[in-house]
Amino acid sequence: MAFQLSVLVPTPAHSQLSGPLSYRSPSPWGPGQLVRAPLGKREVLGVVWDDAPVEGDDGYDKDKIRPLSGALEGLAPLTPGWRQLVSFAASYYQRSLGEVALAALPPQLRDLSPVQLQRRIKRHAKDTPSAAARDTATNAPDLSPEQQTVMAQIRTQAGPFLLFGATGSGKTEVYLRCVQELLDADPQAQALVMVPEINLTPQLEQRFTERFAPQYGADCLVSMHSGMTNPQRLKSWLAAHSGAARIVLGTRMAVFASMPQLKLIVVDEEHDPSYKQQEGARYSARDLAVYRARLDGAKVILGSATPSLESWYHSRPAEEGGRYQRLHMPSRIGEHSALPLVRRVDMNHQPKHAVFSTPLLLAIQERVQRGEQCMVFLNRRGYAPVLHCSDCEWKSECPHCSAFRVFHKVDRTLRCHHCGFTERVPHHCPACGNADIRPMGRGTERLEEHLAELLAHTRRPDGEPVRIARIDADTTRLKGALENQLAQVHAQEIDVLVGTQMIAKGHDFRHITLVAAVNPDSALFSSDFRAPERLFSLLMQAAGRAGRDADISARSEMWVQTFHPTHPLFASLKQHDYPAFAEQQLQEREQAGLPPMSFQALVRAEARTQEVAQGFLNLARLCATDQAQEMGVTVYAAVPMSVQRIANVERAQMLIESASRVHLQRFLQHWHAVLQATRQQPEGKGLIRWAVDVDPLAI
């Protein structure tokens, strides 16, 4: 007796094999069972998908339907909720089912044979100790009145919740208490806690371990992020899938973790763009977390001091159409805690080409001499964004991208941050031979060097010279480098910390009293309508690193050097008034018909020439004009992307917009076949790839 099973395998995104394939099996494996299946000349991991296997040898051709290679026995099937989450993500974000489902599983699971997997499962069971006799004492601090009010609302309401709390207001403690109450109430329940970036995982993991390891054991908590090795990711996945891990901490990939008893989801810093995947299936982990909570009957908490405008809009009163419940924690923890004073420095009144204003430099020197720490924020790494020749106007353009190569002085290289192309800095201008080629602009590396010159005669209270450190993607490339540098900051071995957005959010620096943003103006007049939102969020988060200890909060400050000090964004920042900023931005977006009042998607095309990329998109647009009009969808003409060439590949994009999410989705599903057919036309010849990005963050 044989059975015909529908199995998902990792098929290409836009192939004709986007759904489940049929295979023969001697056993009627149920839906969610992981199996090994032949695909072409390879053997791949697959997931049994349909509910009803077809019994018997009739009704199909044995020669055309290949047999399964085996099943990964010993693993419980993936739950219906997990499969429904994958189905929704594939449909909504316009990707194939197999691509999303198999990408959500740990890479090593795809390579293990059934025998190898059985060994791993036995080893995992052997390494998991019993939780019978463990210390149940916890060292949880007392909750503030605001935290108590929020906890009471979370207990009694269904959510989803938007926890709008100032930096330092104790949002993490609320997360810890919610997880604690869940685990105490249900011995099987699991919680998922998500952070936007890998570098925020270690400190959160430490806090959760200190709180829960004494009672539930260190094995009750696992991490999931792309910085882990494949064996580590598999071990964490097995622990979560089996229910042994009660808490999963992870980045956006963790939203697809197999957690059969999931009852609570926390999305910390929910506004962060890192929750949006930018390759493959371009999903929003924040939005999928809300959807998954609804599927699993779990509560979901979105937390931020500067919520995304979409979440803020959804948390308006229910009578106005709001879907989230907004929870407020406007005060910092501590009787005398206060948010930092925001000072605006008008750079129009400072000497030309000055990097640091005189008042800011004096303030930094004063802090260092008192033994306090300062943080200088500039969201641009490298020494200088461009090298140029003043004689012939040559600039350090990348030969493979429509971008400039960044000058890195530490290793004397010109490095493209898009394609990675690197060359040694030339001794003279490649165009005219002039030996006087100079850097234009500043990055964190140059800022660190300049600060060292300006503070050369400044001394710490112990008489030692000032100690400056830089944290960005260049200094944290080696494994463990970030943790070591952060440990130095926490131990007060660093006086002035220079860095990019890596240091501006999520870190609990207890001794920083001054934060400075030296060049924030570039985003004020960007063509991207989301640029002001990102800038305000980044500056608010950076300001939140100052004065987190109640003893020093009264003298904490945020300095903003700008040529536009009267801009409304800086006025709201000075008052720490996110609601006013959000209201102003939402009014502008409503007038312009932009998200969240409308819904968008981008179709991107890549080819060897810009003409082919745009020609493909414009032909597909022409073929769908009537359908778009019927559905109330606007399809704009194709344009080059902001960085239109990367690694010698030309890139173009086309914007699709609608006032209805349902109409936009229906149009995209119809248009998928049109795009497939258009690629077969002469205009599609030379096209490398195309992809749909639903709810894009950058246009």
User: Where are the domains positioned within the chain?
Assistant: 3-105, 145-329, 341-381+443-590, 384-441, 599-694
Query: Per residue in 348-371, pLDDT tens?
Result: 999 988 999 999 999 999 999 999
| Residues counted in the chain | 699
| Cα-Cα-Cα-Cα dihedral sign, residues 387, 354, 540, 536 | negative
User: What pLDDT shows up at residue 129?
Assistant: 52
DSSP-derived letter for residue 199 is: G
Instruction: Compute the distance between CA of residue 379 and CA of residue 444 in angstroms, rounded to an integer.
Output: 8
Ranges 332-341, 479-488, 603-612, most confident = 603-612
pTM for this predicted structure: 0.91
> Domain 3-105 carries which CATH code?
3.40.1440.60
The CA-based dihedral angle spanning residues 486, 491, 495, 500, taken in that order and rounded to the nearest 10 degrees: 10
To which H or E segment does residue 560 belong?
strand 557-562
Type of residue numbered 286: R
User: What pLDDT shows up at residue 369?
Assistant: 93
**Res. 132 pLDDT band, cuts 50 70 90:** very low
pLDDT at 57 over 70: no
DSSP-derived letter for residue 575 is: T
Classify domain 341-381+443-590 at the CATH class level.
alpha beta
Instruction: Compute the distance between CA of residue 151 and CA of residue 148 in angstroms, rounded to an integer.
Output: 5
Q: Rounded mean pLDDT of the chain? A: 89
Ranges 72-81, 467-476, 639-648, most confident = 639-648
**Res. 249 pLDDT band, cuts 50 70 90:** very high
Type of residue numbered 402: S
Fold (topology level) of 145-329: Rossmann fold (3.40.50)
**Res. 133 pLDDT band, cuts 50 70 90:** very low
**DSSP per-residue letters across 544-556:** TTSS-STTTGGG-
User: What pLDDT shows up at residue 459?
Assistant: 93
Cβ pair 656, 600 in contact under 8 A: yes
For residues 479-486, give the mean pLDDT: 85
The burial of 478, by beta-carbon neighbours within 10 Å (0-12 exposed, 13-18 middle, 19 or more buried), is given as exposed
- Higher local confidence (pLDDT), 658 or 527: 658
Query: Per residue in 611-648, pLDDT tens?
Result: 999 999 999 999 988 899 999 999 999 999 999 999 99
The burial of 289, by beta-carbon neighbours within 10 Å (0-12 exposed, 13-18 middle, 19 or more buried), is given as buried
Classify domain 599-694 at the CATH class level.
alpha beta
pLDDT at 564 over 80: yes
Type of residue numbered 346: D
Please state the φ and ψ torsions of residue 35, each to the nearest 5 degrees: -135, 165
pLDDT at 659 over 50: yes
Instruction: Compute the distance between CA of residue 37 and CA of residue 9 in angstroms, rounded to an integer.
Output: 8
User: Among residues 156, 175, 366, 384, which one has the least CA distance to residue 270?
Assistant: 175
User: What pLDDT shows up at residue 514?
Assistant: 94
Same fold for the domain at 145-329 and the one at 341-381+443-590? yes
- Higher local confidence (pLDDT), 147 or 482: 147
Cβ pair 241, 260 in contact under 8 A: yes
Query: Cis before residue 187, ω within 30 degrees of 0?
Result: no
